[in-house]
Amino acid sequence: MNPIEVLGLAAGALTTTAYLPQAVRTLRSGSARDLSLAMLLLLITGIVLWLAYGALAGLPAVVAANAATLLLTLPILWVKLRRG
Protein backbone atom coordinates (compact mmCIF):
# COMPACT_ATOMS: atom_id res chain seq x y z
CA MET A 1 0.00 0.00 0.00
CA ASN A 2 1.47 3.34 -0.98
CA PRO A 3 1.67 6.36 1.35
CA ILE A 4 -1.08 8.23 -0.50
CA GLU A 5 -3.47 5.32 0.00
CA VAL A 6 -2.53 5.16 3.70
CA LEU A 7 -3.24 8.89 3.98
CA GLY A 8 -6.64 8.41 2.33
CA LEU A 9 -7.51 5.51 4.61
CA ALA A 10 -6.46 7.47 7.70
CA ALA A 11 -8.52 10.50 6.64
CA GLY A 12 -11.50 8.30 5.89
CA ALA A 13 -11.21 6.49 9.21
CA LEU A 14 -11.14 9.74 11.16
CA THR A 15 -14.01 11.45 9.34
CA THR A 16 -16.12 8.30 9.43
CA THR A 17 -15.45 7.70 13.12
CA ALA A 18 -16.66 11.24 13.78
CA TYR A 19 -20.22 10.04 13.00
CA LEU A 20 -20.10 7.18 15.49
CA PRO A 21 -20.94 9.20 18.65
CA GLN A 22 -23.94 10.81 16.91
CA ALA A 23 -25.19 7.48 15.63
CA VAL A 24 -24.89 5.87 19.07
CA ARG A 25 -26.55 8.84 20.79
CA THR A 26 -29.40 8.97 18.27
CA LEU A 27 -30.08 5.24 18.47
CA ARG A 28 -29.90 5.19 22.29
CA SER A 29 -32.15 8.22 22.76
CA GLY A 30 -34.49 7.32 19.91
CA SER A 31 -34.58 10.96 18.88
CA ALA A 32 -32.99 12.99 16.12
CA ARG A 33 -35.05 16.08 16.88
CA ASP A 34 -32.05 18.42 16.96
CA LEU A 35 -30.80 17.25 13.57
CA SER A 36 -32.01 18.91 10.40
CA LEU A 37 -33.73 16.59 7.92
CA ALA A 38 -32.42 18.70 5.03
CA MET A 39 -28.86 18.35 6.35
CA LEU A 40 -29.20 14.59 6.67
CA LEU A 41 -30.63 14.23 3.16
CA LEU A 42 -27.91 16.41 1.63
CA LEU A 43 -25.21 14.59 3.59
CA ILE A 44 -26.43 11.13 2.57
CA THR A 45 -26.77 12.20 -1.06
CA GLY A 46 -23.19 13.48 -0.97
CA ILE A 47 -21.97 10.28 0.65
CA VAL A 48 -23.65 8.18 -2.05
CA LEU A 49 -22.09 10.34 -4.77
CA TRP A 50 -18.63 10.06 -3.17
CA LEU A 51 -19.14 6.30 -2.91
CA ALA A 52 -20.03 6.10 -6.60
CA TYR A 53 -17.08 8.31 -7.52
CA GLY A 54 -14.69 6.16 -5.51
CA ALA A 55 -16.02 2.99 -7.10
CA LEU A 56 -15.84 4.37 -10.64
CA ALA A 57 -12.39 5.89 -10.11
CA GLY A 58 -11.05 2.74 -8.45
CA LEU A 59 -10.24 4.47 -5.14
CA PRO A 60 -10.64 1.91 -2.34
CA ALA A 61 -10.04 4.44 0.45
CA VAL A 62 -12.88 6.65 -0.83
CA VAL A 63 -15.17 3.64 -1.21
CA ALA A 64 -14.39 2.24 2.25
CA ALA A 65 -14.77 5.57 4.06
CA ASN A 66 -18.03 6.47 2.39
CA ALA A 67 -19.54 2.99 2.69
CA ALA A 68 -18.82 3.06 6.43
CA THR A 69 -20.14 6.61 6.78
CA LEU A 70 -23.31 5.64 4.93
CA LEU A 71 -23.82 2.74 7.34
CA LEU A 72 -23.56 5.19 10.25
CA THR A 73 -25.78 7.91 8.81
CA LEU A 74 -28.67 5.80 7.50
CA PRO A 75 -29.78 4.73 11.01
CA ILE A 76 -29.74 8.39 12.05
CA LEU A 77 -32.00 9.23 9.09
CA TRP A 78 -34.26 6.30 9.96
CA VAL A 79 -34.71 7.59 13.52
CA LYS A 80 -35.30 11.12 12.22
CA LEU A 81 -38.01 9.94 9.82
CA ARG A 82 -39.67 7.59 12.30
CA ARG A 83 -39.47 9.53 15.54
CA GLY A 84 -38.37 13.08 14.75
Alpha-helical segments (H) within the chain? 3-17, 20-29, 37-57, 60-83
CATH of 32-84, one of 3.60.130.10, 1.20.1050.90, 1.20.1280.290, 1.10.3720.10: 1.20.1280.290
> What span, in angstroms and rounded, lies between the C-alpha atoms of 54 and 70?
14
> What span, in angstroms and rounded, lies between the C-alpha atoms of 56 and 3?
21
- List of residues 6+ apart from 53 with CB closer than 8 A: 59, 62
- Distances from the Cα of 2 to the Cα of 7, 8, 37, angstroms: 9, 10, 39
Q: Domain extents for the chain?
A: 32-84
Whether pTM > 0.75 for this model: the answer is yes
Per-residue pLDDT of the chain (84 residues; tens, 9 = 90+): 889 989 988 998 999 999 899 999 999 999 999 999 999 999 999 999 999 999 999 998 899 999 999 999 999 999 999 987
